[in-house]
């Protein structure tokens, strides 16, 4: 069941980088509900910008408006249409938070979705450890480190065409690292599927260099080390 705008406002206040929020009537700009610290004119501002954005979107045949971010000197605001209302969010900080830049930010305003994102991040950390252990075993930091880096950069882009993994990971000389503080809406399953492909591609490249038998032995050695560490 879809949340009411007032409930969504409560959810958005839990998100990163939010200063205050208000649910506003599209019809007259009146405030249905506002959080502590919301300016008195927030309703008018949200209704004006939201209405203008929807008119521009319609005139340009861009489909329905999911959200719009408005930036002024020292101010950033996210506005999302919800039925007959606008959910206006005053953002805090120098940069627009990751979730506000997604195609439909309102889809993220649930505890289930945020839990799923956290689980995906945890799985990504585990997969990065596995991949780096394999790369080390395969000698990816040696004389051909540059070649390995080029392969990793290319394949991280290929396995996730939406570019989310490319934002979250940085390919270096024979290893990958997770970029600190970078979040996306990638799911746990998508992380698992992407790293399965990346590990397979890594093994294939290693086979071309050191042979199938040695790659199999090194792979099994890495799996054994990981299993021992979890005990």
- CATH code for position 64: 3.30.450.30
For residue range 27-73, list pLDDT tens digits in order.
Answer: 888 899 999 988 888 888 999 999 999 999 999 998 889 999 998 87
Does this model's pTM top 0.85? My answer is: no
Domain range holding 31? Answer: 5-109
Both 78 and 133 in a single domain? no
From 57, 80, 109, the end of a domain falls on 109
Same domain, 14 and 34: yes
User: Same domain, yes or no, for 187 and 89?
Assistant: no
Return d(Cα 187, Cα 115) in angstroms, integer: 10
The span from the CA of 174 to the CA of 209, in Å, is: 15
Among 123, 129, 29, residue whose Cα is nearest residue 79: 29
Q: Give the separation between CA 1 and CA 132, rounded to whole angstroms.
A: 43
pLDDT (tens digit per residue) in 128-185: 999 999 999 999 988 889 999 999 999 999 999 989 999 999 999 889 999 887 888 8
Q: How far apart are CA 200 and CA 219, in angstroms?
A: 11
Same domain membership, residue 117 and residue 35: no
Count of domains for the chain: 2
């Amino acid at each position: 069941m879809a949340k009411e705008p007032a409930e969504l406002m409560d959810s958005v206040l839990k998100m990163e980088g939010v200063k205050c929020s208000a649910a506003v009537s599209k019809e007259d700009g009146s405030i249905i509900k506002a959080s502590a610290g919301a300016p008195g004119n927030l309703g008018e501002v949200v209704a004006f910008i939201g209405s203008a954005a929807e008119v521009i979107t319609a005139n340009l045949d861009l489909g329905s408006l999911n959200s719009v971010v408005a930036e002024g000197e020292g101010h950033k605001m996210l506005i999302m249409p919800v039925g007959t209302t606008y959910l206006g969010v005053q953002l805090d900080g120098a940069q627009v938070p990751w979730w506000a830049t997604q195609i439909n930010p309102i889809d993220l305003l649930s505890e289930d979705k945020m839990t799923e994102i956290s689980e995906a991040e945890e799985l990504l950390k585990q997969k990065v450890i596995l991949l780096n252990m394999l790369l080390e075993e395969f000698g990816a930091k040696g004389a051909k480190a540059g070649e390995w880096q080029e392969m990793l950069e290319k394949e991280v882009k290929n396995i996730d065409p939406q570019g989310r993994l490319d934002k979250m990971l940085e390919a270096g000389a024979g290893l990958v690292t997770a970029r600190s503080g970078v979040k996306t809406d990638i799911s746990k399953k998508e992380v698992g599927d992407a790293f399965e492909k990346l590990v397979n591609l890594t093994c294939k490249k290693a086979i071309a260099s050191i042979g199938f038998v040695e790659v199999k032995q090194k792979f099994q050695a890495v799996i054994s080390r990981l299993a021992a560490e979890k005990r």
